[in-house]
Amino acid sequence: MFQPGPWHDRLVTSFAALHDLTGKVAVVTGGSRGIGRAIVQTLAEAGADVVIASRKLDACEAAAEQVRASTGRRAAAIACHVGRWGDCDRLIAETLARAGGLDVLVNNAGMSPLYPSLDAVSEDLFDKTLAVNLKGPFRLAALAATHMAGHDGGSIINIGTTASLTASVGELPYACAKAGLNALTVGLAEAFAPRVRVNAILPGPFRTDISRGWAPPEGAEVPFVPLGRMGDPAELAPLALHLASAASSYTTGAIIRVDGGVTRKV
């Protein structure tokens, strides 16, 4: 017979209350467009004050204004190139100074530059790809988790890719960097437990600005996806909210695919 444990009262709390982020501060890198923008909106609608970071300050400021107008939450814009160690340090320092705390970090910024062949991959392309997709998230997470562990705890969410499991020839440096992000997720989850939870979301094919060059037309069937279509960023954002909130209080070190059921090699 079921015996209520110490978490029983929390488990029977309403769904909305478990996902309430009122009083929390969330930083989202690459937050001005695509998946990052959808996550920013969802976290703000759940009550969080948000910091929107990307290389283009004007895009961050425009997104912040939209968030303030639509949710009434505080939204700050901070320019940050996550591939630069110093920019990562400044983002965390400015967040703490301007928002007064840090409870949620979403490492969403990424890049996957094209190349004609593997032997044509330059050292500069390789280094930039690893810097944005792995080095920056490492530095941001290490700083954020250290702060969170010394205060009220928190949640870190790394946005990876299902390419980290399939590693196709056309995006190999990107896939390698994101595979490292998977390992980073597991390692950070152990390093900062129990005060800080760290999880990863691996998107498959989503309609964003980045996929516009290769995506099938809107409404067209996508045969390689079992669900028959590409995802919309709004379909991923609720999972980020779940992982950011008390609703996922026993989830850490998880790597979760959101890809419409795409078959992959492991």
Give the residue numbers annotated as catalytic, written as ranges: 174
Q: Phi first, then psi: what are they for 117, rounded to 5°?
A: -160, 160
**Among candidates 141, 146, 150, 65, which has minimal Cα distance to 106?**
141
Q: Would you call 206 helix, strand, or coil by DSSP?
A: strand
CA distances from 27 to 120, 135, 218, 234 (A): 36, 17, 31, 18
Q: Which residues partner with 160 through β-bridges? A: none
The Cα–Cα gap between 105 and 98 comes to: 15
Q: Which two tokens stand for residue 48?
A: 């969080």
